[in-house]
Amino acid sequence: MLRCASAYTYDIDNAKQACSDIRRQLDEQIELLEHTLGIIMCHTEFIVSGALKAVCDSLPFDTIGMTTAVQAVNGESGELILTLFVMTSDDIVFKTGVTDGLEHGITAPVNTAYTAASAGNAPALVLAFAPFIRKYSGDAYVNAWRVTAWGAPVFGAVATDDTRTNDLCETIYNGSMYKTEMPFALCYGNIRPRFVVGTFLYEKSLPHRGVVTKSCGSAVNEINNANAYTYFENLGYTKNGFLTDNYILMPFVADQMKRGDYDGIPVIRGFHSFTEDGSAVFLGDIDEGSVISLLANEPEDVLTITRQKAQELSGLPDVNGVLIFTCIARRLMTLAISPLAELECLGEAMREGLPFMAGYAGGEMSPTRMRDGVPTNRFHNYSLIALVL
């Protein structure tokens, strides 16, 4: 049996009170069982003040997590807040660890840390918090786990913060903060995770679709056998070597029909930049043969999907708790309504009494399906992902 609970504190400058807030809320909701794991998120100010470390040090179990911009738990959402999601069980074991720095590669450090932490066989679930390293496509993190822990579903997020450059974001492991390391937890035993992914209203894609005829990872070199920059320029989407402001926050949908593990669910990609040779670099990989188009969703469209997914989660049977990450770009798209619009919408639509925690991410890692026990692990942009426990 798995039991879950969530807690929060606003006490940035009073570490003792922050610890008391968290402990009191947990004691009111749950009795810890033999094995426990904490997922923790906070605004960067909790790191500066020392409150984050104090909270982690006060807990009798391991914690992994990251910084973020806005968070929500049952009945509460905010920006200057620390949140905690607790999973506890007698028949699920949590093995935690943290990689070495990933500046010079990802797969080798992930494999080394996984080998040290693992129980010798594939876990039922991997939870991971990746650092924001600008030179990497987000798929590099998922691919590293796919090679290392094949057969295990991978769920997690890339750290973010409330700055324009993500310079302050960090990952968290037992109260220690990291710029380039990836903390993780391997879950073994009687755990049957389910996954929900929400993106946008696909019917609002713009009519100008293109076929990716040459790409390498996240760099799309040619679209419709033409230079990628030229393709976007001919559509009027570029100016002076950049995407025009109208399209910066527009997600691209890539229908990757030629993938061997294609599951019928298009992936959403964010645009990063153009290279000197005119290639278009995205925030995740796009395979050759993919059909791409822009999605022209409005702020209310974002909230429509969020509300639908919250209602879907609330209607699922046998749910002990839900962990949710949603892309930081979705917050930017809904700022005209409110900085808290999406997470407030999420909290209002979730079933009362169902423990959950939600926060913004710089990229999202989640399977889009499980078939015969084998996950299709994916990296997402602009998406809302949920782990159903």
pLDDT in tens, 119-137: 778 899 999 999 999 888 8
Q: For residues 360 and 284, state if they share a domain.
A: no
Amino acid, single-letter form, for residue 98: V
**Overall domain count for the chain:** 2
Mapped onto helix, strand or coil, the DSSP state of residue 343 is helix
Please identify, among 262, 294, 326, the residue that sits at the C-terminal boundary of a domain: 294
Q: For residues 339 and 222, state if they share a domain.
A: no
* Count of Cβ atoms closer than 10 Å to residue 180 Cβ: 17
User: Which pLDDT score, from 0 to 100, does residue 304 have?
Assistant: 92
Q: For residues 338 and 306, state if they share a domain.
A: yes
Q: For residues 190 and 319, state if they share a domain.
A: yes
Whole-angstrom Cα distance, residue 361 to residue 161? Answer: 8
User: Which pLDDT score, from 0 to 100, does residue 284 have?
Assistant: 86
Please identify, among 294, 310, 334, the residue that sits at the C-terminal boundary of a domain: 294
User: Which pLDDT score, from 0 to 100, does residue 248 have?
Assistant: 59
**Per-residue CA distances from 92 to 149, 156, 164, 183, 344 (Å):** 18, 19, 39, 19, 32
* Residues in the chain, pLDDT under 50: none
Q: For residues 307 and 290, state if they share a domain.
A: no
Question: How does DSSP assign 226-240, residue by residue?
Answer: EEHHHHHHHTT-EET
Residue 271, domain extent: 202-294
6, 357 contact by CB (below 8 A): yes
User: Which pLDDT score, from 0 to 100, does residue 259 have?
Assistant: 56
What tens digit of pLDDT does each residue of 55-96 get? 999 999 999 999 999 999 998 999 999 999 999 999 999 999
Q: For residues 363 and 318, state if they share a domain.
A: yes
Q: For residues 192 and 206, state if they share a domain.
A: no
What tens digit of pLDDT does each residue of 307-322 get? 999 999 999 999 999 9
Q: For residues 254 and 324, state if they share a domain.
A: no
Q: For residues 310 and 289, state if they share a domain.
A: no
Question: If you search the block for the tokens 């006490």, which residue do you land on?
Answer: 11
Q: For residues 335 and 248, state if they share a domain.
A: no
Biggest alpha carbon–alpha carbon distance for the chain: 62
Please identify, among 279, 294, 309, the residue that sits at the C-terminal boundary of a domain: 294
Q: For residues 326 and 360, state if they share a domain.
A: yes
Q: For residues 229 and 284, state if they share a domain.
A: yes
Whole-angstrom Cα distance, residue 137 to residue 347? Answer: 31
Contacts of 264 (CB under 8 A, 6+ apart): none
